[in-house]
């Protein structure tokens, strides 16, 4: 088909007619989102926003910018590589040099190919001797993934200081949301208004981190769960990173994300190629819920793969039950009790290997502790399996304790820079996975564990950050992350049916890239149901419930020493991948009955929770936290209402239930609640229940969404579960 070329005016860029495939303008389209990219003479995203039902390429002429006075004489595009050479004075996408030369590359498009909704743009800077290959893929979910590959075409190494993916967002995206956190308090959202300059999120901890989850959301002022335009990005990378939202002096804005390189860490030899991590981007004009639902759908369609496609089994993890005190007879009693409670997978945590009696020693010595397990692990495993459960085990392969046989034999295997004292964290150092012998040793030991024992599940921990990570005298944080991926890749290829959990002192390594190799995250070491409500809500912006490890812990949480009822703990663990984190042998009868009840409730509802659309609902009182799931066919909805603090108002107001079919009628059913107390004589917060809790109510989806359902007055730190079932 011949392509028609339009000349808009003498100074304009050229636009092609209907034949996108042939030349300059390309459109990626999905049911919710479209992206329009101009590719000549350089690549520039012209549009990233809602799906366009009536798009024609000529439309893009409306976006040709004026040139302001008192500045450069021409237009300065925010290109895909955001080059300063175009007169863009913000952070460029690429910084580096060849011994001081070739330091300001500008790329011109050489070749473009589109295959379905994937676009590959090859461009070059012949002067600097660099080639850039940009890949953009828009999935049906509406999530756009982007990465660049840079190749050094010339003699002499090209030192890479920064290499980022840049995505422009609308000028009206004035508000930025990010997540701060710490150990035992991950995924805490915070916001800034960005009128000028930039907002930077920088992580130098060597793992994804509790502190700086690699994501930014830019949106229209005051965007909320159900309203506003939002552009959210997440960098799939488990090492150091930098994300930025920049408001240019001309009012344009862009998001930028990159793996962060330490000085001297990254150089490209002649012919070598470096890829940025994938950047995942989701735009929604329906607020944050729309953004999250697209991310969840994308992960379900393209990344999350459970061997055998099994429902997510109820776990029992031994850590907060027995810690390092491993006695096989007792562990088998725990397994017997666990099976009776409905547990489907039993996991032995830290403490099973040689000399591991506390957290001061033995990391690296991946041999069974024969003093604790004189008959080996098999009797315990057989016992677990005979009870009909899967068996899982904890490891922390990337670490080495100074007090370990491994360190005594190989003191040079530590990831460090010579000439400096080595900092310990949790009394441990990091093993240098860039040493082939160290890598092979780990591979051999892990293969022994998984090959000689019928292990179904591995909890892969990583309990400290990297300080001065060095290999052969040079910085090696990036290389260490890549070796960690390689180790998991080899193990997964050898043991394709084993599931892996990514744990790093709880939520220290949660990202899309590690999820391509794992099946679950331990969201936090904090099992306090009150804290978990906010942590899990924060995590839900990017991750669906089925990969979010959520356990019922002891009545008194070991992290905070707070106490919560079994109902509050049980319901809080329901909207994730549920487990128990305790000793069922020593649990009282009432507690044990609670564990059993919530394991059964989880099994009843997990299919809906793990496949439906997740909704977070804003209530008048910020301490009333509501989330729910509605099935894809809208026949069922399940909503959890958690009262996190003393209510602000004497009445909680109506829950306007999102996601239901407006035309259908739904029966409202109270599924679970604390022992709701009514009193007329002081104490507690409610005298009379809302009507629907006495007399059954059904209503249209439209009514429930628009008018809502009156909620009961809940005491602080309690929750109720409500189902909406189509009649």
Judged by phi (left if over 0) then psi (alpha if -120 to 50, else beta), residue 82 lies in left
- Determine, following the binding rule CB under 6 A, whether residue 186 of this chain makes contact with ligand DGJ: no
In the annotation, is 511 catalytic? no
The DSSP annotation for 640-676 comes to: EEEE-SS-SSSS--EE--TT--TTSEEEEEEEE----
Asked if residue 581 lies in contact with residue 320, where contact means CB atoms within 8 angstroms, the answer is yes
Residue facing ligand DGJ at closest CB distance: 350
Q: How far apart are CA 300 and CA 472, in angstroms?
A: 41
**Neighbour tally for 451: CB within 10 Å:** 12
Nearest to 136, CA basis, from 282, 278, 289: 278
Q: Which is nearer to ligand DGJ, 128 or 578 (CB)?
A: 578
Number of residues that make up the chain: 727
Minimum distance between the CB of residue 522 and ligand DGJ, rounded to whole angstroms?
6
Nearer to ligand DGJ, 227 or 427 (CB): 427
- Euclidean distance between CA atoms 219 and 209, whole angstroms: 24
Assess 137 for contact with ligand DGJ (CB under 6 A): no
- The Cα–Cα gap between 1 and 11 comes to 27
Does 261 engage in binding with ligand DGJ (CB under 6 A)? no
**Comparison of 306 and 324: residue with beta carbon closer to ligand DGJ:** 324
* Residue numbers 510-539 binding ligand DGJ by CB under 6 A: 522, 525
User: What is the total count of residues that contact ligand DGJ (CB under 6 A)?
Assistant: 11
Pick the closer one to ligand DGJ by CB: 442 or 523: 523
On whether 461 is known to bind a ligand per the annotation, the reply is yes
Q: How many CB atoms lie within 10 A of CB 263?
A: 9
Residue from 394, 413, 439, 543 binding ligand DGJ (CB under 6 A): 394
459 is in an annotated binding site: yes
Among 34, 350, 465, 511, binds ligand DGJ (CB under 6 A): 350
Output the smallest distance, CB 458 to ligand DGJ, in A. 12
Measured from the CB of residue 459, what is the shortest distance to ligand DGJ in angstroms?
6
Q: CB 349 → ligand DGJ: shortest distance, Å? A: 5
Catalytic residue among 461, 511, 583, 613: 461
Which of 319, 366, 439, 595 binds ligand DGJ (CB under 6 A)? It is 319
Does position 159 bind ligand DGJ by CB under 6 A? no
* 426 known member of a binding site: yes
Q: At what angle do helices 378-386 and 328-341 cross, to 10 degrees?
A: 20
Smallest separation (angstroms) from ligand DGJ to the CB of 525:
5
Among the listed residues 618, 639, 542, 630, the one whose alpha carbon sits nearest the alpha carbon of residue 292? 542
Determine which one of 125, 365, 478, 525 is catalytic: 525
Please name the helix (run of DSSP H) or strand (run of DSSP E) that holds residue 512, with its range, or none: helix 512-515
**Residue whose CB is less far from ligand DGJ, 337 or 350:** 350
What whole-number distance in Å separates Cα of residue 553 and Cα of residue 558? 9
Is residue 248 part of an annotated ligand binding site?
Answer: no
Tell me the CA distances in angstroms from 587 to 307, 325, 326, 391, 409, one per residue in order.
33, 17, 18, 22, 43
Is 304 a residue that touches ligand DGJ (CB under 6 A)? no
Binding residue (CB under 6 A) for ligand DGJ from 461, 531, 546, 613: 461
Of 109, 208, 240, 463, the residue at the interface with ligand DGJ (CB under 6 A) is 463
Q: Are strands 14-16 and 5-7 parallel, antiparallel or unpaired?
A: antiparallel
Establish whether the linkage from the previous residue to 85 is cis, with ω within 30° of 0: no
Sequential DSSP letters for 339-362:
HHHT--EEEE-S--BTT-SSTTB-
Cβ of residue 207: shortest distance to ligand DGJ, in angstroms?
A: 13
417-436 footprint of ligand DGJ as x/- string (CB under 6 A): --------------------
Residue tagged 């990219």 (tokens) = 37
Residue 337 in contact with ligand DGJ, rule: CB under 6 A: no
Following DSSP, what letter does each residue of 562-614 receive, concatenated?
-B--HHHHHHHHHTSEEEEES-SSSS-HHHHHHHHHHHHHHHHHHHHHHHSEE
Token pair 């936090």 in the structure block, residue:
524
Active site residue 621: no
CA atoms within 13 A on the CB side of 605: 29
Cβ atoms of residues 560 and 531 within 8 Å: yes
Compare residues 487 and 503 and give the one whose CB is closer to ligand DGJ: 503
Q: Please check if 366 is assigned to a binding site.
A: no
Beta bridge partners of 198: 246
Q: What is the nearest approach in angstroms of ligand DGJ to the Cβ of residue 244?
A: 30
Output 461 or 513, the one with its CB closest to ligand DGJ. Answer: 461
Q: How are beta strands 457-460 and 390-395 bridged, if at all?
A: parallel
Tell me how far, at minimum, the Cβ of 12 lies from ligand DGJ, in Å.
Answer: 57
- CA–CA distance, 347 with 357 (Å, rounded to integer): 18
Strand segments, DSSP code E, in 484-590 are 499-502, 520-522, 548-552, 577-581
Q: How far apart are CA 527 and CA 574, in angstroms?
A: 13
Q: Which is nearer to ligand DGJ, 354 or 482 (CB)?
A: 354
Q: Residue 105 or 538: which CB sits closer to ligand DGJ?
A: 538
Least distance in Å: CB of 509 to ligand DGJ?
10
Burial of residue 505 (CB within 10 Å: 0-12, 13-18, 19+) is buried
350 marked as binding residue: yes
- CB closer to ligand DGJ out of 350 and 672: 350
Q: Between residue 496 and residue 515, which ones bind ligand DGJ under the rule CB under 6 A?
A: 503, 505-506
615 assigned to a ligand binding site? no
Beta 577-581 vs 315-317: how paired, if at all? parallel
Q: How far is the CB of 507 from ligand DGJ (least distance, A)?
A: 9
Positions annotated as catalytic residues are 461, 525
Return binding residues for substrate. 183, 349-350, 426, 459-463, 503, 525
Instruction: Give the interface with ligand DGJ as residue ranges (CB under 6 A).
Output: 319, 349-350, 394, 461, 463, 503, 505-506, 522, 525
Q: Which amino acids are annotated as binding site, given as ranges? A: 183, 349-350, 426, 459-463, 503, 525
């Amino acid at each position: 088909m011949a392509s028609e070329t339009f000349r808009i005016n003498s100074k304009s860029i050229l636009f092609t007619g209907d034949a996108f495939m042939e030349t300059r303008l390309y459109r990626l389209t999905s049911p919710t989102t479209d992206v329009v990219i101009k590719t000549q003479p350089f690549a520039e995203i012209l549009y990233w926003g809602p799906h366009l039902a009536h798009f024609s390429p000529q439309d893009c002429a409306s976006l040709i910018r004026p040139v302001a006075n008192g500045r450069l004489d021409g237009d300065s595009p925010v290109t895909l590589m955001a080059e300063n050479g175009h007169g863009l004075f913000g952070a460029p996408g690429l910084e580096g040099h060849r011994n001081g030369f070739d330091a300001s590359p500008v790329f011109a498009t050489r070749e473009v190919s589109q295959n379905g909704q994937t676009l590959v743009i090859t461009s070059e800077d012949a002067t600097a001797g660099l080639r850039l290959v940009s890949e953009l893929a828009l999935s049906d979910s509406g999530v756009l993934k982007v990465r660049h590959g840079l190749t050094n075409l010339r003699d002499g190494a090209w030192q890479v200081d920064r290499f980022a993916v840049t995505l422009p967002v609308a000028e009206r995206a004035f508000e930025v949301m990010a997540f701060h956190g710490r150990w035992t308090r991950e995924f805490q959202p915070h916001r800034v208004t960005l009128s000028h300059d930039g907002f930077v999120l920088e992580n130098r901890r060597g793992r994804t981190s509790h502190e700086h989850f690699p994501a930014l959301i830019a949106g229209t002022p005051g965007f909320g769960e159900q309203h506003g335009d939002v552009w959210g990005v997440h960098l799939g990378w488990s090492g150091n990173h930098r994300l930025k939202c920049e408001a240019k002096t001309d009012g344009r804005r862009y998001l930028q994300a990159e793996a962060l390189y330490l000085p001297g860490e990254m150089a490209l030899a002649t012919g070598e190629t470096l890829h940025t991590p994938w950047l995942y981007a989701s735009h929604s004009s329906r607020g944050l819920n729309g953004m999250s639902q697209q991310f969840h759908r994308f992960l379900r369609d393209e990344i999350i793969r459970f061997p055998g496609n099994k429902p997510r089994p109820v776990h029992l993890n031994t850590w907060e039950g027995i810690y390092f005190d491993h006695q096989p007879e007792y562990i088998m009693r725990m397994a017997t009790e666990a099976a009776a409670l409905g547990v489907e997978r039993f996991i032995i945590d830290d403490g099973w290997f040689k000399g591991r009696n506390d957290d001061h020693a033995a990391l690296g010595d991946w041999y069974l502790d024969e003093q604790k397990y004189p008959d080996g692990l098999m009797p315990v495993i057989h016992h677990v399996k005979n009870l009909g459960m899967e068996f899982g085990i904890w490891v922390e392969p990337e670490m080495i304790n100074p007090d370990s046989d491994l360190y005594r034999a190989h003191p040079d295997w530590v990831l460090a820079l010579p000439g400096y004292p080595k900092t310990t964290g949790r009394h441990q150092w990091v093993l240098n996975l860039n040493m082939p012998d160290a890598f092979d040793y780990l591979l051999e030991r892990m293969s022994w564990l998984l090959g000689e024992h019928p292990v179904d599940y591995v909890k892969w921990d990583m309990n400290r950050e990297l300080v001065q990570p060095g290999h052969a005298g040079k910085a090696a944080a990036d290389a260490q992350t890549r070796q960690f991926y390689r180790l998991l890749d080899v193990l997964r290829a050898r043991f394709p049916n084993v599931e892996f959990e990514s744990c790093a002192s709880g939520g220290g390594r949660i990202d899309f890239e590690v999820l391509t190799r794992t099946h679950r995250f331990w969201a936090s070491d904090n099992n306090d149901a009150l804290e978990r409500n906010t942590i899990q809500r924060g995590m839900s912006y990017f991750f669906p419930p089925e990969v979010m490890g959520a356990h019922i812990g002891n009545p008194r949480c070991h992290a905070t020493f707070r106490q919560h009822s079994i109902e509050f703990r049980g319901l809080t663990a329901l909207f994730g991948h549920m487990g128990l984190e305790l000793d069922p042998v020593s649990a009282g009868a009432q507690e044990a009955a609670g564990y059993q009840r919530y394991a059964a409730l989880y099994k009843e509802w997990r299919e809906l929770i793990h496949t439906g659309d997740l909704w977070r609902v804003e209530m008048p009182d910020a301490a009333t936290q509501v989330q729910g799931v509605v099935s894809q066919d809208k026949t069922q909805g399940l909503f959890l209402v958690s009262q996190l603090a003393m209510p602000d108002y004497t009445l909680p107001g109506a829950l306007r239930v999102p996601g239901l079919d407006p035309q259908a009628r739904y029966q409202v059913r109270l599924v679970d609640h604390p022992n709701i107390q009514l009193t007329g004589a002081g104490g507690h917060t409610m005298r009379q229940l809302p009507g629907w809790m006495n007399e059954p109510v059904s209503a249209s989806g439209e009514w429930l969404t628009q008018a809502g359902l009156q909620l009961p007055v809940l005491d602080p730190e309690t929750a109720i579960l409500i189902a909406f079932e189509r009649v």
